[in-house]
Structure formats: C-alpha cells, structure tokens
Structure 1
Amino acid sequence: MDQDDVHETGSFGVYGSPPAELAAVPEGAIQFSPLVPGASALEAQGEATLSGMVLLAPPGTIERRYTVALALKALAPGGALTVLAPKDKGGSRLRKELAAFGCSVSEDARRHYRICTCARPEAPTGIETALDEGRPRFVQEFGLWTQPGVFSWNRIDPGSALLARHLPGLSGRGADLGCGIGFLAIGILASSKVEHLTLVDVDGRAVEMARRNIEDRRASVLWADVRSLDVAQLGRLDFVVMNPPFHDGGAEDQSLGQGFIRKAAEALRPGGLCWLVANRHLPYEAVLKAAFKRVALKAEAEGYKIYEAQK
C-alpha cells in the first residue's frame, strides 16, 4: 500500500512485525514500518484516523517515543493501542513512557516481552516534544541529514569510515548495498569515472536521508531488502561497495552479510569488483571464496576487515 494513500477513520494499523501469539492483528490492518519496503509511512497517516493499533516498539528511546507519539496522533480518542517490546529492548520502560503521554496503562508479561494496552486519551501530553526529538535532523559534525533509528544515526560508523579511506577510485556502474544515509556514496561519487550509483537500503528513513544527502544526478536510491532484490533493477554492475548488517531484531545474524555477498556476486559482471567491510569476527571468507574468483584482504584495523573480491 502506497504511503500516499488516504485512510478512512476506523482503520486498524500495525507497526513492525509483532509476534502473532502475543498481539492480535485483524486481517486487513494497514502495515506501517520503515523496515518493510512499500509499507505505509506512519508519519503520513491522518490525525485521528485509526480505531486501533498494535505497535512493536523500537529499541532506541528517541525512536520509540517518536513512534508511539505518531501512533497516538493517528488514533482517534479512545482508540485501542497495544505496544509491546522485549523486556531488555525497551519493554521495561513502556509503561512509564505511555503514562508520560497521559495514557492509563495495563501491563502484561509473556515470553520476555512487556505488553502494554491503553486507550488513546482525549488530550495526550508531550506528543509534539517526542515528535520534534525524533524527526530528521542535519548534524553539523558530519554534515549529513539523519534520523534517530537509522543505522549509526548520530555518528559515522567506524567500519564505513575505514572502508572509505581504503576505497580506490571506482569506475563504471555500481551499487552501494545497505547504503544507510549515504556516507560511503559521497566518497564513491567523488570519482568522475563513476557513471551511475544505485543506493539500496531496507530502512525507508535511511533512503529518505540518502536522497537529501546525495544530490548527484548519477545517483539513484532504492528502498528494498537486498536479500530479495531483483538484480535486474541494478543492471550489470562494474562494482559493489557494502558494509552489510549483521543484526536482525537486535540479535546477531551472520546470514545477513552472507546474503549480501551472494547478491553482490549475482549483480556483478565478470571481472567486476566487490569492496566489503566487516567486523573482524564475522566468518565471511568462505562465502566470498565460493562466490568470487579472487578474494584479497586489503586491510585489517580497528576491529574490522576490508576485502576486495573479483567476480
């Protein structure tokens, strides 16, 4: 469902992917999530247009309060709100945070989750403050637009910074897989030999920030999950650059980076190059050697490894 759709009062919303056994979501609920490509944007939902909502709360405090404030704004007075999160990822704070918005909260605990239910009060308190804190912002220290909740939102990731220092001047058509807010892309596009760069990220907020940060006409930005991406959307590539994720829902998942590597190999032309940075402990060598003709460790520093792999 397109984020520009207009939703009628009485619709039900779901944010994220809450466990089905912990929170009931009616069939036909509007899917909201920056991490589900193509989902509706909760920011674009009209005020007081939802009759109810189930929200899997994000772990970050600023992002969580921002998301709950958006939900309260979208709910009609008296609308039912269920907010849940693992106890150690913000769940233990939910009751207090909802109470600060003026909600009368009931709390349950199941399977290491805290599950809070309440009705949207007639006049919630503190909504605008939470919205202001969570909106996109320009950070002077590194000169980029960013937003709480995106990867490394308030600093330049040290792995990406290390990769940027070791990248050669690239040429031809390429992709930045898992582009974030566009930090690596800016360095890549400094080469006049780059013909086109496609930036891809699963986080819709990062995609919007990258669009603000990258004004180069040679660049395009795509909201997509790299693992399920149709490489035909990228064209045959001369290079791929990536700092792949290795956490899913807060838990380490090495298959994420392995999936990125296989997708890069699929998208590259014969002889094309993949430049990758990864935490030192991640076992990517085997999948790199299986997918590429040549693999070279180009640097190892600050807890990271940088590889160049040739198709």
Structure 2
Amino acid sequence: MTGYGMNVLTNPSQLLVKNSDALEAERILVVQPENDNFVPQLSQQGAASVNVYTTSEVVRSRLSDLGVNEACLAYGECIPDQKEKPDTIIVYLQKSREFMNYLLAMSLPLLSDNGHLLLVGENSSGIKSWQKRLAVYGDVEKIDSARHCSLYVLTPTVKPSPFVIVDWKASFEEVLHDVCVKAVTLPGVFNHGRLDVGTRLLLETMEAGFKGDILDFGCGSGVVGAWLAKRFPGVRLFLLDNDAMALAATRETCRINEVDPVAVIASDGLENVRGRFNAIVSNPPFHEGVKTQYETTEQFLRESKSLLKPKGRLRIVANSFLRYPPIIEAVFGHCHVLVKRDGFTVYEAFNG
C-alpha cells in the first residue's frame, strides 16, 4: 500500500499502514478513526468500498472536507445498517472501556462470515489488556507492535448477540434548589450514570438571574441545560456538543424532562453556532480520545465574549488546576471566582 503521507497520520494509523496486507479486503468499515488522513488515503488504495463511522463532529467534518463521500460517512450514536457486510472492521482504541465494549457489541454483528476485526491503539492507552478481553469473541492474534502502538486481529468464533441500544442506556435523577432533573446517558458520555462533582457545583451556583437565550457548551448528557430550563421557565435553550453520543443522550434527557430546546447542535467548538446569547454555561471538556486536550476549551473561552449579548454572562466550572482564569481575564478584563471546592472552581465573567 503506497501513497500514504506519514506526516499526516497518527501512530496507530501508521501502524495500520505498516501492515497494509491486513487491510486487503473488498469491504472495510473504519470505526472511530482518528483526526488524520488515514481514511481518505485508504479509500484511494483500491478497496471496493470503505465506510466510516464516527461519533466526533470534528472527525466527520474533516473527512468530509477531505472528500470522503457523505454516503459512506456515518455520524451518530449507532452504526447504520450496511448494505453489504464488511469483510474487515478496523476499530481504533477508545479511552472508555465501556464505550469500547459498546463499539465492539455494535460492530461485530455487522461483520461478514469469515470476516476479521482489527483493533489498533497506543500501548500507553492500555491496548495490551484488550488481547484478553477480545478473546471472549473468538481467536485473537497480535499482528504487530511499533511506534508505541499494537495491532490485534480478532477472528470471531462466537455468534454475537444483536445490538440493542436501549441495553446500554443508564439514567439518574438529581434534586438541586428543589428542582428535580432526570438524565439519560450512554457509554462514553461525560456524566454516564451519575452527576459529577463539578457539574453539581456549577448547578449549585445557579440560584437566580438566568433568562433569555442560553447556550450550554459541551452539553454531555444535557443535564445542565434541562435543569436550567426547569429552574428558569421561559429560557430559550441551545445545547452543543461535538460527540454524537452526547447529543443522543441530551435529546433523551430533554424528552423525559419535557424540555423543548431551540436547538441541539453538533459542532467542532463554536463553529456551527449562530446568534448571541444572554448566558453561556459550561463544564467544558478537556479530554478527547485517549489524550488530555485543552485546545478546544481554550479556543471556546477566547471566542465566548463575541457570542454574548451586552451584559451577557459566561459561567463555567473547571478543575482548579486548569489555567483558564488568565484566558478569561485577557478576553473579558476580569474573572470572578464564585466558589472553589473539592478540586473544582466556578468562574464567571460579563460582557460589559
């Protein structure tokens, strides 16, 4: 397999290219590819068809811009039915073990008879432990290890159970300021199955003053937005996340709380946001994939003021060790600390 620009491929993708003979198949499904050029380059190498499934709007948008056919590019909480079963499914290792189990349970029933599943990922992310975990599905062999990554091939010997998404949903209920909110979550979504300490702290500070158009950036399970809509009737709610799993959970959370948001937005940062808001609230993400990632939140903080109406407010909660205050101060000219507890801090700033 030739023609790969190695400088635009992550280490796991480079390991796949190094073992190009394992990619010789008529129909390939790539699950959760990384934000690189592997998929378009694979598509150019002569495979009869390459389909892609991702839960990342960042990756979906990039692949679309690189010319991957929209008909072959699926973004959502479930892999759509394949017209023809893939002979090879490539799965990139994810940080969440439960999300990995979800992807495997969703992928394996799609595989053709005598097909193979390839799992690739970095050694530092714990991929070696997956050799044993994959064995419950069939025969597992290590193909290669290089560039601090490993590549395994699974040949299923056990007929997989049909995938049913409802089996993977979790829910919880919380009462804050006498407002009861219910949440539905899915694997890989922040707050899966419980309310985290930081989000609870953020909600505790929201005693009064929220009205008009409110944007929840990085909405996760939708619990913050749904609670706000119940606490402050009449607000116009906009919910945003990069992750399709989060957006699916958010829609379900809004439904069970009888909350009707103006929009649920798939977006890379604030790219797909239009209009200005009375308030932007967030427990912003700082993890992406298997690595810690701060750039999305830092860019969000720099751009947030331009999306606020006059006297509009930004309120976020973050791990206290994250150096967000200097960025907020540079943008707004001030940064108020509302509360600091249990390793988290709630910050607020106003537009004028």
TM-score calculated relative to the size of structure 2: 0.75
AA of the residue aligned to 1:138: S
Is 1:250 paired with 2:286?
A: no
Q: Distance in 1 between matches of 2:269 and 2:35?
A: 23
Q: Distance in 2 between matches of 1:90 and 1:270?
A: 48
Give the C-alpha shift of residue 22 in structure 1.
9.4
CA deviation profile, 1:25-81 (whole Å, cap 9, x unmatched)? 434632211123655144323486223222102222222122123222112112232
Task: Give the letter aligned to residue 310 of structure 1.
Answer: F
- 2:332 corresponds to which residue? 292
40, 43, 55: which one aligns with 2:91: 55
Name 2:63's counterpart in structure 1: none
* Alignment partner of 1:263 is 2:299: no
More off after superposition, 139-148 vs 177-186: 139-148
Distance 1:252 1:44, change over 3 A: same
Pairing 1:276-287 to 2, within 5 Å after superposition: 276-287=316-327
Q: CA deviation at 1:136?
A: 1.9
Q: Deviations over 1:104-148 (max 9, x none)?
A: 4333212222211244x4x534x3398679622334688421112
Quote the Cα distance in structure 1 between the aligned partners of 2:173 and 2:228.
21
Residue 151, structure 1, aligned to residue 190, structure 2: yes
Match of 2:43 in 1: 26
Change (3 A) 1:192 1:300: closer
Q: Tell me the CA shift for residue 281 of structure 1.
A: 0.7
User: What residue number does 1:103 align with?
Assistant: 139
Tell me by how many angstroms 1:193 deviates: 5.4
The equivalent residue for 1:184 is 224
Partner residue, 1:112? 148
* C-alpha distance 290-82 of structure 1, shift in aligned 2 (>3 A): same
3-state SS, counterpart of residue 295 of structure 2: helix
CA contact (8 A) 1:202 1:224 kept: yes
- Choose from 230, 233, 239 the match for 2:272: 230
Q: Secondary structure at the match of 1:180?
A: coil
CA gap 1:180/1:171 in 2 versus in 1, 3 angstroms? same
Asked if the contact 1:66–1:133 (Cα under 8 Å) also holds between the matched residues in 2, the reply is: no
Partner of 1:4: none
Residue of structure 1 equivalent to 2:103 = 67
Distance across 2 between alignment mates of 1:35 and 1:67: 14
User: What does the per-residue CA deviation read over 1:219-276, in whole Å, with 9 as the maximum and x for residues that have no partner?
Assistant: 431122225x2332xx211110001111223332332321121232221122210001
User: Is the 8 Å Cα contact of residues 106 and 118 (structure 1) preserved in structure 2?
Assistant: no
Residue type at the aligned position of 1:17: P
8 Å contact from structure 1 (residues 48, 75) kept in 2? no
Mapping of 1:87-102 within 5 angstroms?
A: 87-102=123-138
**Is 2:28 aligned against 1:12?**
yes
Give the structure 1 partner of residue 57 of structure 2: 36
Cα distance change, pair 89–152 in 1 and its aligned pair in 2 (3 A): farther
Letter in 2 for 1:52: T
Inter-CA distance 184–99: structure 2 relative to 1 (3 Å threshold): same
2:67 paired residue number:
none
Query: For the residues of structure 1 that align with 2:197 and 2:152, how far apart are their CA atoms?
Result: 37
Mark the CA change 1:66 to 1:192 in structure 2 (over 3 Å): closer, same or farther. closer
RMSD of aligned C-alpha atoms? 2.9
How many angstroms apart in 1 are the aligned matches of 2:166 and 2:98?
7
Residue 169 of structure 2: aligned partner: 136
The share of aligned pairs that are identical, in percent, is 23
- Describe the SS at the equivalent of 1:186: helix
In 1, distance between residues paired with 2:167 and 2:296?
27
Trace 1:74-89 onto structure 2 (pairs within 5 A): 74-89=110-125
Q: Using the alignment, how far apart are the partners of 2:116 and 2:91 within structure 1?
A: 11
Unaligned runs of 5+ in 2: 1-24, 61-72, 175-180
Gaps spanning 5+ residues in structure 1: where?
1-8
Q: CA deviation at 1:180?
A: 0.5
User: Secondary structure of the equivalent of 1:206?
Assistant: helix
Mapped contact 2:94–2:289 kept (Cα < 8 A): no
The TM-score, its normalising length taken from structure 1, stands at: 0.84
Q: 1:290 to 1:140 in 2, by over 3 A?
A: closer
Q: Which residue identity is paired with 2:138?
A: G
Task: Give the whole-Å Cα distance in 1 for the aligned partners of 2:164 and 2:260.
Answer: 32
1:124 match: secondary structure: coil
Post-superposition offset of 1:171: 0.6
3-state DSSP of counterpart to 2:138? coil
